[in-house]
Amino acid sequence: MQPWGVLRSAVPEARQPTATVATGLRDRLIALGVDAGLAAVGVASAELFAHTRDDLVGRRKRGLNGAMQFTYRNPERSTDPRRILPGATSLVVGAWSYRRSEPEPEPEPGQVRFLPTRPAGRVARYARRDHYESLRLALEPIAVHLRGLGWRATVVCDDNALVDRAAAHRAGLGWFGKNSLILLPGLGSWFVLGTVVTDAPLPAVDPTERAPHGGRCGSCSRCLTSCPTGALVAPGVLDARRCLAWLVQAPGPFPEEYRRALGGWIYGCDECQQVCPVNRLADRRDPPPAGEPDSHAAVDLLDLLDASDDALLAAHGRWYIPGRDPRYLRRNALVALGNVGDGGDPATVAALRRWLHVDDPMLVEHAAWAAGQLGRSDLVGER
């Protein structure tokens, strides 16, 4: 027998590994994840997520998913890990930190104050590089170890096949914040989450260590009141139809009533995480590591509006863009430009002129909106 695990072939039919062996394997898997850079690793049973299924179905009925599909498309599937791996018994769930210091001081929620002379679009922290890839790579040694012992193991993260937060919660990684994010005790929410689904029987973490929904947010509800569009309609309940993080990914025109609220964001939105005292305290106690020099925290809006389709997809194709159609990046950039640009700046005026005269009614309308915001309605209708 391997020192840290039990070979599947060594297990007689219908016999499970002893509790001690299974605990040893579980602890070994957790250690492998931590060695690979995961900030936290937990283990849970792979049984159905019945409550989550009810929540998905209930929220879809209320229209709270808007046009989003993802895990909502097929709740029967996304809440049953055995659809990913028949015979699955356990989940090993990991959290990968993307907490980094900001290249520029973060503006206060609702405030936009980019100092550079050229207007800048903001990118949410999780999207500045491919943290999902790093997470997958960190989960892989766990899967490899299990496979080496003859068990089956599949890595899933940010996949429509599993509701990652429900898995993380069951595995005891943290609690559901009122902003609906999973917060790790003392560390906050700047984490992406992923899971190894396996048929190895592993003892779950002690259920008494699991935090209840909202338990550790206490009476704080800063995220609810700070959301620029009021998208958090109740603690832990998000109305995607108003969530800026969804609206920048959604097809069609950007809803006019939320354009001002978008500020400078062009992809993602971090407002409900930035205001969270748990995140702030964690940053004070343990200042985040430096951001990568090529972190793309800010994108030059005029460059973006000038770039070809190919260049945009090469730079940002990793993002979720409806139909991989770069016009949605331009749509977001025009709204952001209307919020953070300067109507007296010749380069901004040139960009507006260009997009006011393209053969794309949606972009023309967004350019006209931006021109109006910048006091340059005179540009609309110019020939």
The contact set with ligand B12 (CB under 6 A) reads 51-52, 55-56, 59, 68, 70-71, 124, 126, 157-159, 162-166, 176, 178-182, 189, 191-194, 213-214, 235-238, 240, 243, 245-246, 249, 268-270, 272
Residue nearest to ligand B12 (CB): 236
Q: What is the CA radius of gyration of the chain?
A: 23
- Among 260, 331, 301, 353, smallest CA distance to 118 is for 301
AA letter at 372: G
For the chain, percent helix, then strand, then coil, each to nearest 5?
45, 15, 45
Query: Rounded to the nearest whole angstrom, what is the least distance from the CB of residue 258 to ligand B12 in the complex?
Result: 13
CA 355 to chain centre: 30
End-to-end CA distance of the chain: 79
Write down the least CB distance from residue 234 to ligand B12, Å: 7
- Please, which residue, 129 or 376, has the CB nearer to ligand B12? 129
Nearest approach in angstroms of CB 107 to ligand B12 is 15
Which distant-in-sequence residues (6+ apart) come within 8 Å of 81 by Cβ?
46, 88, 91, 162, 167, 195, 197
Contact of 42 with 205, CB cutoff 8 Å: yes
| Closer residue to ligand B12, CB minimum distance, 39 or 305 | 39
Residue nearer to ligand B12 on the CB measure, 231 or 367:
231
Rounded to a whole number of angstroms, the minimum distance from the CB of residue 226 to ligand B12 is 11
CA atoms of 351 and 236, how far apart (whole Å): 40
Comparison of 10 and 233: residue with beta carbon closer to ligand B12: 233
Place of tokens 């995961």: 38
- Of the candidates 158, 300, 303, 325, the residue annotated as catalytic is 158
User: Which residues does 231 contact at the CB level (< 8 Å), separation at least 6?
Assistant: 238, 239, 240, 241, 242, 243, 244
Closest separation in Å from C-beta 310 to ligand B12? 26
Minimum CB distance to ligand B12 smaller for 2 or for 160: 160
- Smallest gap, in angstroms, from Cβ of residue 291 to ligand B12? 15
Q: How far is the CB of 134 from ligand B12 (least distance, A)?
A: 12
Q: Which is nearer to ligand B12, 164 or 199 (CB)?
A: 164
Q: Could you give the CA distance from residue 347 to residue 327 in angstroms, rounded to a whole number?
A: 20
Distance between CA atoms of 346 and 323, rounded to whole angstroms?
Answer: 33
Q: Which is nearer to ligand B12, 215 or 317 (CB)?
A: 215
Burial class (CB in 10 A: 0-12, 13-18, 19+), 342: middle
Which residue's CB is nearer to ligand B12, number 128 or number 376?
128
Inter-residue contact 274 to 109 (CB < 8 Å): yes
Contacts of 253 (CB under 8 A, 6+ apart): 331, 362, 365, 366
Q: Minimum distance between the CB of residue 254 and ligand B12, rounded to whole angstroms?
A: 14
158 is catalytic: yes
What is each CA distance from 281 to 147, 209, 362, in whole angstroms? 40, 22, 43
Strand 120-123 vs strand 265-267: parallel, antiparallel, or unpaired?
A: parallel
**Which residue numbers are catalytic?**
158
